[in-house]
């Protein structure tokens, strides 16, 4: 790496070394080694060499390769990246000298061709450095954490020379004395994934000697705590955030880890969509009150499992998702054909027949599982929905009694739409709505602009219970309500 170029861009790529950018300002570099943990994009870490810019002198390490828990990448938990970067801070070069068979200015390190990665088999000979070959176990190589374990006597001497010249002020610094200042929040836990009813122990590891703690545990019991190291129980599956604010006489600091805790749900097994089978044709129109039933097997018998029915156009990328019946707990969803008709129209199909794919996902509160198969359906859209029953033009709005009445399960409702005389040049918006005996809306049969004429529309009440219902028609100041009786 070109270290002169790196020195120029450090202040631009490291937002973590400025309080105004969300991090923390540097402490006095003549008294402390500053280490920032950041979300780096181009490297795992870097450091300033002795004599560098005092405004950001120190070491910067990517958060996924620092520490031992959380987001740390497996195999990078021994802190060797920090050891490597601190070596730079004490004036050590890379062991390959940053060039092909380069010089790191240390006599007892062998010349090697380039950086090594992973864990190599001894000896690994390059640049005529046999019989022992590369010192790939040296902290200043790029090998894995588990392979690094050595600084040479020459490297030690070079670092001692740095601390006795460029960084001599560290020898008399007060770095070992507690700092008076705003605390820096950090915590850990003994686990992050548990089963419902289990507990997690949280441990404050904040710097700066905090004297007060304010924990917030989403979904936990307790939901808040002022203890330094609380224990929290979680009962319900899901992902939960944890927030800690620490304070002392100099100020406060806080962190909020989103979805830090995962509480597992019940086990889910493979399941399948069943009906309708693939390649089924479903005929629809805009006000089609008939229903289509979609069913599947269950992924678990546990009552906490929820299902979502998902559909998309064959070859399309937009998915529509809906809870199954009974607020997602049933392994069935019943949809009106008018709804499927609107879905097909929403997919942007220009033809009468839209090929769609449907499948189901089950959820246990923290994870999801897809049905092992998916079925094709063909939604065949028809333009006819409300039937015209007369070519003559009525002289007034009129709503007729349904026939038959009582009925089971289908009845027809007729109505008249007259010519407009308002001169506004548009047809009236007609609404025809079914209500139950308590006045609750059951279904909208018509809601659109309509030409003058006589019409009828069918209501299929096969999914409704027996009893008295009402239907109301409204249009431009006209309103009429009639009663109908469903007997099963």
DSSP characters for 83-100?
HHHHHHHTTPPPTTTTST
Q: What is the pLDDT of residue 15?
A: 45
Q: How many Cα atoms are found within 13 Å in the side-chain-facing hemisphere of 444?
A: 9
Q: What is the pLDDT of residue 8?
A: 38
CB 202 within 8 A of CB 189: yes
Q: Which helix (H) or strand (E) holds 345?
A: helix 337-346
Which burial class, exposed, middle or buried, applies to 313 when counting CB atoms under 10 A from its CB (0-12, 13-18, 19+)? buried
First to last CA, the chain: 82
Note the CATH architecture for domain 3-172: 3-Layer(aba) Sandwich (3.40)
Q: Which of 85, 441, 443, 476 is catalytic?
A: 85
Geometric angle at alpha carbon 446, from 445 and 448, rounded to 5°: 155
Q: What is the pLDDT of residue 356?
A: 93
Q: What is the pLDDT of residue 138?
A: 95
Strand partners, 284: 381
pLDDT per position in the chain (488 positions), as tens? Answer: 333 334 333 444 454 455 655 667 788 888 888 888 888 877 888 899 998 888 888 999 988 888 877 778 877 778 888 999 999 999 999 999 999 999 999 999 999 999 999 899 999 999 999 999 999 999 999 998 888 999 999 999 999 999 999 999 888 887 766 667 888 899 999 999 999 999 999 999 998 889 999 999 999 999 999 999 999 999 999 999 999 999 999 999 999 999 999 999 999 999 999 999 999 988 787 777 788 999 999 999 999 999 999 999 998 888 899 999 999 999 999 999 889 988 888 886 545 688 999 999 999 999 999 999 999 999 877 654 566 677 678 889 999 999 999 999 889 999 998 876 544 556 788 899 999 999 998 888 887 777 788 888 888 887 789 999 999 999 988 999 999 999 98
Note the CATH architecture for domain 187-263: Sandwich (2.60)
- Fold topology of 388-486: Immunoglobulin-like (2.60.40)
Geometric angle at alpha carbon 327, from 459 and 242, rounded to 5°: 155
Alpha carbon 86 to its chain's center: 36
Write the DSSP symbol of residue 311.
Answer: E
CB 313 within 8 A of CB 345: no
85 belongs to the catalytic site: yes
Instruction: List every span in the chain annotated with CATH 2.60.40.10.
Output: 187-263, 273-382
Q: Which CATH number fits domain 273-382: 2.60.40.10, 1.10.260.40, 3.40.50.150, 3.90.1150.10?
A: 2.60.40.10
Q: What is the pLDDT of residue 346?
A: 81
Instruction: List every span in the chain annotated with CATH 2.60.40.1930.
Output: 388-486
Distance CA 445, CA 406 (A): 19
Q: What is the pLDDT of residue 275?
A: 95
- Judging by DSSP bridges, how do beta strands 199-204 and 231-234 pair with one another? antiparallel
Tokens of 246: 């620490």
Instruction: List every span in the chain annotated with CATH 3.40.390.10.
Output: 3-172
The sign of the torsion formed by the CA atoms of 83, 207, 75, 47 equals negative
- Does this model's pTM top 0.75? My answer is no
Distance CA 51, CA 91 (A): 10
């Amino acid at each position: 790496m070109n270290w002169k170029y790196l020195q120029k861009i450090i202040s631009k790529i490291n937002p973590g070394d400025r309080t105004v950018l969300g991090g923390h300002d540097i402490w006095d570099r003549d008294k402390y080694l500053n280490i920032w943990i950041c979300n780096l994009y181009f490297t795992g870490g870097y450091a300033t060499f002795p004599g560098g810019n005092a405004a950001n002198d120190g070491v910067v390490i990517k958060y996924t390769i620092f520490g031992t828990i959380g987001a740390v990448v497996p195999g990078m938990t021994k802190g060797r990246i920090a050891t490597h970067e601190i070596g730079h801070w004490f004036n050590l070069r890379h062991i390959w000298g940053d060039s092909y068979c380069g010089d790191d200015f240390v006599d007892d390190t062998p010349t090697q061709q380039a950086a090594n990665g992973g864990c190599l088999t001894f000896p690994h000979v390059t640049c005529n450095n046999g019989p022992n070959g590369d010192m790939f176990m040296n902290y200043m190589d790029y090998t894995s954490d588990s392979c690094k374990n050595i600084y040479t006597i020459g490297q030690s001497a070079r670092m001692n020379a740095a601390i006795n010249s460029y960084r001599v002020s560290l020898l008399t610094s007060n770095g070992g004395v507690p700092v008076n200042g705003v605390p820096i929040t950090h915590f850990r836990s003994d686990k992050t994934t548990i089963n419902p009813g289990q507990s997690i122990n949280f441990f404050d590891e904040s710097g700066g000697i905090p004297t007060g703690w304010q924990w917030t545990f989403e979904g936990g019991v307790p939901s808040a705590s002022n203890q330094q190291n609380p224990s929290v129980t979680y009962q319900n599956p899901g992902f939960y955030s944890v927030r800690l604010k620490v304070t002392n006489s100099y100020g406060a600091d806080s962190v909020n880890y989103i979805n830090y805790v995962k509480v597992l749900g019940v086990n889910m097994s493979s399941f399948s969509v069943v009906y309708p089978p693939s390649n089924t044709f479903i005929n629809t129109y805009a006000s089609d009150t008939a229903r289509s039933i979609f069913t599947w097997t269950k992924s678990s018998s546990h009552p906490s499992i929820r299902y979502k029915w998902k559909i998309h156009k064959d070859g399309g990328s937009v998915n529509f998702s809906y809870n199954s019946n009974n607020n997602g707990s049933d392994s069935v969803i019943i949809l009106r054909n008018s709804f499927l008709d609107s879905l097909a129209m929403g997919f942007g199909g220009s033809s009468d027949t839209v090929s769609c794919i449907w499948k189901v996902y089950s959820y246990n509160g923290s994870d999801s599982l897809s049905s092992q198969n998916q079925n094709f359906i063909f939604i065949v859209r028809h333009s006819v929905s409300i039937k015209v029953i007369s070519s003559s033009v009525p002289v007034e709005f009129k709503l007729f009694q349904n026939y038959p009445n009582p009925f089971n399960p289908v009845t027809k409702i007729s109505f008249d739409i007259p010519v407009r005389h308002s001169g506004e040049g548009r047809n009236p918006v007609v609404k025809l709505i079914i209500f139950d005996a308590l006045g609750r809306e059951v279904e909208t049969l018509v809601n659109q602009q309509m030409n003058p004429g006589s019409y009828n529309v069918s209501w299929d009440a096969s999914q409704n219970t027996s009893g008295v219902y009402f239907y109301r028609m409204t249009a431009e100041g006209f309103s009429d309500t009639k009663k109908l009786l469903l007997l099963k």
